Structure 1
Amino acid sequence: MSLMIFRRVERGAPKAALGLFAAMSLALALIALPAPEALGRDAPGSFADLAAKLSPAVVNISTKQAVDEPPGAEALPDGPFNDLFRDFFDRNRPRGPVQSLGSGFVISADGFVVTNNHVIKDADEVTVNFPDGASFQADVIGSDDKTDLALLKIDAGKPLPFVPWGDSNESRVGDWVLAIGNPFGLGGSVSAGIISARNRDIRAGPYDDFIQTDAAINRGNSGGPLFNLAGQVIGVNTAIISPSGGSIGIGFAVPSALARNVIAQLREFGETRRGWLGVRIQEVTPDIAETLDLEAASGALVASVTPDGPAEGANIQPGDVILRFDGRDVSEMRDLPRMVAETPVGKTVRVVVWRKGKSVTVKVKLGRLENQDTLAAAAPTGDEGDPGGSSQGAEVPGAGMALAALTAEIRARFSIADDVVGVVVTSVDPRGPAAAKGIAAGDVILEIGQDPVSDPAVIAQRIVEAREQGRNSVLLLVQSGPDLRFVPLPVGG
């Protein structure tokens, strides 16, 4: 802008005025520019010193897995094509063990090494290779497929270089990061970038909370460290998004805030020991928030409670919205499983729930999540829709479904257990609101507006009342087979 002023004055203005305006323009420009240190406060002139310091503790992981060879032609019966089959099997049978490569990093002088679970999964032999050429056979101390982490142990006979954990919670989008690893088996390779995003959910597991970075991460980088400029590990490089298999600047690392706790459990117990709440949850959508008089669509809606589980013992009920867990806000549904998993087994925590228009605080003593249990599973959303069947029932105006009471005949027709109390959906208009929310013939409506219901007329009446009150939807508790979920059924218009 100041340059444009300078050019306009230059045409026909006296030299004195020209000099005055030039000086003013320069002063304005200097005022407008931020101080040099503000532009790149943490930007290093080079990463060389940091890379030289950290690289000795970053290792390559190689594995071998024996393959059972399929039976060859010698297992075939004699026949005119025996020679042809023998040649085919000989040319296509595996040759030697399957090998794979990955990365890892040493976290203690006595030889504990962190890597990804998928790097060492099903391996019969794991070798840790150091940049100086030293190699050691490794024992797998433990692994966790839910976070894709594994802990190895080597005996080097001497103290090893290692790197410290950092706090990923202190990292911000835009911070510089350094990735060191073994891309494509090339050996120690360094790439730099920034944190592109935090808290990414890439549907890799129940506790997704990835750091996204544009530092180049390729095949073979799996299990390697992501460093901050203090030389601390803030992430374990785990996955990339790429149509070609190579880096396009979208890589993901398990944050140290999650990884450090998992690795500590593997080191102490050889397995993970996660807290267990015993609920099935679903997302709080704006429609659901409106039906529950919640100010914001946040928290985790309890769809069902595991019998005899910790939540049931603390009187957490279906329909409750968990807003806070152990002093932390539950901003999204997917936050809760991670919070519970990170909490020690047996700890008693305060849980704040939203129940029928007000906050209620309960105390829960967490159990231990076993492999066959579900920490806080997402209830089925039912968004796929279902055209339903042709069974007859009373049509609910504006809902696109017909309902009937649970008689013995209806129970037999839809295979509904005798202890289920509610109203059955006998048919669904494929173009109506109910179908759009995944309600199908044979589903049972147990509650409307968090009140138990067994009469189809009551549901029709409550829908009419909600429409007259200007509400956009009513909240139904629906049972589909063994699964429960809350459904905000649109009623407007």
Structure 2
Amino acid sequence: MVTGVTATAMASAQAVVTTADFSELVQQVTPAVARVNVTKTVSEAELAQAQTAELLRQFFGDRLRIPDQAATPAIEHAYGTAFFVTADGYMLTNHHVVEGADKITVTLNDRTELDATLVGSDERSDVAVLKVSGNQFPALPIGDSNALKVGEPVLAIGSPFGFDYSASAGIVSAKSRSFSRDTSVPFIQTDVALNPGNSGGPLFNQRGEVIGINSRIFSGTGGYMGLSFSIPIDAAMDIYEQLKTDGEVVRAYLGIYPQDIDRNLAEAYNLDRPQGALLTRVSPDSPAQKAGLKPGDIILQYNEVQIMRASDLLNLLNRAKPSDSFRAQIQR
């Protein structure tokens, strides 16, 4: 009897860890992915400054600079990846891929080259919207990044180092990763191999739905070291709609400075566990102060959404529109 139970448990475990096969999915989605080629005119001084700054950047180094020795200014060539979200030619990519571009072209997988227009770009979220002329493009289905689970297999397609339509797979390592200088995006962390040129490319779930835009890596060498970050498609589509409609992104302002709750703070506030966002400061005459929020308050829920970390609250606020209202559950 004990042997039978053990055998069943082992068989079940083996079934769970079966490696995902993305071969059919790659063939299905590749036509909707394109290489982005950017040309920018820069002075020699700007070029030297940008090359120095590139060594310190934690964004992808997607710039392959080819100075024209015979003339000043120099020509900068950049490359990245984009993908279709509508059949009439709207595409998503990263802001840092097309930043400062004089000319943008996209190359499809059948080697068709199309001129692209920059509809709008948002530095804070690192999302940009492109438009090419035509119709009946193979738009990709949009998934639900909120439904992602840590450990779930994911697939990326892009042009690392110019090697077009390279596929790489991995798992979701963590969700809602935020950075001190960029709190507007709750990044999806994966161990998918991403390198310069993958920027702006799609991150897929096993159903072939886009659940993220590949945006950055952490690396001491400029190449992949196991830490890759993607913009959740839910947040990216919010930015897309604003850029497509208005050409710019407008964000709401509340006037709070939240921090995470650790174990000691949880005990001090008689919380069952570390959760919520502690308000360390509320700006004078801000919407938060007028609503009655005070320093020391802990926000536990935002419109019935449970807040576990300060980043959860900031991510919700960054997707709010001016004049939006919300109900908060707080502990004072």
Which of the five TM-score ranges fits, normalised by the shorter chain?
0.7 to 0.9
Match of 2:194 among 196, 211, 217: 217
In the alignment, the residues of structure 1 paired with residue 299 and residue 22 of structure 2 have an alpha-carbon distance, to the nearest angstrom, of 45
Which residue type is aligned with residue 110 of structure 2?
D
For the aligned residue pairs, the C-alpha RMSD in angstroms reads 2.6
Alpha carbons of structure 1 residues 315 and 51: separation in structure 2 relative to 1, 3 Å: same
Match of 1:321 among 289, 295, 298: 298
* TM superposition score normalised by structure 2: 0.84
In the alignment, the residues of structure 2 paired with residue 242 and residue 318 of structure 1 have an alpha-carbon distance, to the nearest angstrom, of 37
1:188 aligns to 2:168 (yes or no): no
In the alignment, the residues of structure 2 paired with residue 258 and residue 37 of structure 1 have an alpha-carbon distance, to the nearest angstrom, of 36
CA positional deviation for 1:214? 2.1
The answer for the alignment partner of 1:466 in structure 2 is none
Which residue type is aligned with residue 181 of structure 1?
G
The answer for the alignment partner of 2:58 in structure 1 is none
Whether the 8 Å CA contact 1:217–1:251 is kept in 2: the answer is yes
Give CA deviations for 1:245-297 in whole Å, capped at 9, x if unaligned: 22233211111232222222222221222232122333434444444444444
Calculate percent identity across the aligned residue pairs.
37
Give CA deviations for 1:106-158 in whole Å, capped at 9, x if unaligned: 10001111001110111111111111111222221111212211111111x33
CA positional deviation for 1:29? 5.9
In the alignment, the residues of structure 2 paired with residue 57 and residue 145 of structure 1 have an alpha-carbon distance, to the nearest angstrom, of 24
The answer for the alignment partner of 1:303 in structure 2 is 280
Gaps of 5+ in 1: 1-23, 71-89, 356-493
SS in 1 for 2:173: strand
The answer for the alignment partner of 2:178 in structure 1 is 201
Gaps of 5+ in 2: 46-67
Which residue type is aligned with residue 48 of structure 1?
S
Alpha carbons of structure 1 residues 158 and 259: separation in structure 2 relative to 1, 3 Å: closer
Whether the 8 Å CA contact 1:281–1:301 is kept in 2: the answer is yes
CA positional deviation for 1:243? 2.5
Which residue type is aligned with residue 214 of structure 1?
D
Whether the 8 Å CA contact 1:113–1:152 is kept in 2: the answer is yes
SS in 2 for 1:349: coil
Whether the 8 Å CA contact 2:94–2:215 is kept in 1: the answer is yes
The answer for the alignment partner of 1:154 in structure 2 is 132
1:113 aligns to 2:91 (yes or no): yes
The answer for the alignment partner of 2:57 in structure 1 is none
1:134 aligns to 2:109 (yes or no): no
Match of 2:28 among 50, 53, 64: 53
- Match runs of 1:173-184 below 5 Å: 173-184=150-161
SS in 2 for 1:201: strand
Match of 2:325 among 341, 348, 354: 348
The answer for the alignment partner of 1:391 in structure 2 is none
In the alignment, the residues of structure 2 paired with residue 36 and residue 282 of structure 1 have an alpha-carbon distance, to the nearest angstrom, of 39
Which residue type is aligned with residue 133 of structure 1?
R
In the alignment, the residues of structure 1 paired with residue 254 and residue 2 of structure 2 have an alpha-carbon distance, to the nearest angstrom, of 65
SS in 2 for 1:334: helix
Which residue type is aligned with residue 130 of structure 1?
L
Which residue type is aligned with residue 163 of structure 1?
L
1:125 aligns to 2:97 (yes or no): no
Which residue type is aligned with residue 81 of structure 2?
S
In the alignment, the residues of structure 1 paired with residue 89 and residue 281 of structure 2 have an alpha-carbon distance, to the nearest angstrom, of 45
Match of 1:66 among 36, 41, 48: 41
Number of equivalenced pairs: 310
The answer for the alignment partner of 2:229 in structure 1 is 252
In the alignment, the residues of structure 2 paired with residue 27 and residue 330 of structure 1 have an alpha-carbon distance, to the nearest angstrom, of 44
Alpha carbons of structure 1 residues 94 and 176: separation in structure 2 relative to 1, 3 Å: farther
In the alignment, the residues of structure 1 paired with residue 242 and residue 73 of structure 2 have an alpha-carbon distance, to the nearest angstrom, of 38
SS in 2 for 1:206: strand
SS in 2 for 1:259: helix
Higher mean alpha-carbon deviation, 230-239 vs 278-287, is at: 278-287
SS in 2 for 1:319: coil
In the alignment, the residues of structure 2 paired with residue 287 and residue 27 of structure 1 have an alpha-carbon distance, to the nearest angstrom, of 47
Whether the 8 Å CA contact 2:44–2:74 is kept in 1: the answer is no
CA positional deviation for 1:241? 2.2
Which residue type is aligned with residue 78 of structure 2?
S
Higher mean alpha-carbon deviation, 204-213 vs 58-67, is at: 204-213
* TM superposition score normalised by structure 1: 0.58
Whether the 8 Å CA contact 2:186–2:311 is kept in 1: the answer is no
CA positional deviation for 1:103? 0.6
Whether the 8 Å CA contact 1:238–1:254 is kept in 2: the answer is yes
In the alignment, the residues of structure 1 paired with residue 309 and residue 272 of structure 2 have an alpha-carbon distance, to the nearest angstrom, of 14
- Match runs of 1:34-53 below 5 Å: 34-35=11-12, 38-40=15-17, 43-44=19-20, 46-53=21-28
In the alignment, the residues of structure 1 paired with residue 70 and residue 305 of structure 2 have an alpha-carbon distance, to the nearest angstrom, of 57
Which residue type is aligned with residue 39 of structure 2?
K
Higher mean alpha-carbon deviation, 144-153 vs 52-61, is at: 144-153
In the alignment, the residues of structure 2 paired with residue 59 and residue 281 of structure 1 have an alpha-carbon distance, to the nearest angstrom, of 40
The answer for the alignment partner of 2:218 in structure 1 is 241
Larger CA Rg, structure 1 vs 2? 1
Which residue type is aligned with residue 308 of structure 1?
D
Whether the 8 Å CA contact 1:238–1:253 is kept in 2: the answer is yes
SS in 2 for 1:276: coil
Which residue type is aligned with residue 110 of structure 1?
D
The structure whose RCO (Cα within 8 Å, separation 6+) is larger is 2
Alpha carbons of structure 1 residues 124 and 30: separation in structure 2 relative to 1, 3 Å: same
Which residue type is aligned with residue 202 of structure 2?
P
Alpha carbons of structure 1 residues 159 and 340: separation in structure 2 relative to 1, 3 Å: same
In the alignment, the residues of structure 2 paired with residue 293 and residue 27 of structure 1 have an alpha-carbon distance, to the nearest angstrom, of 47
Whether the 8 Å CA contact 1:69–1:93 is kept in 2: the answer is no
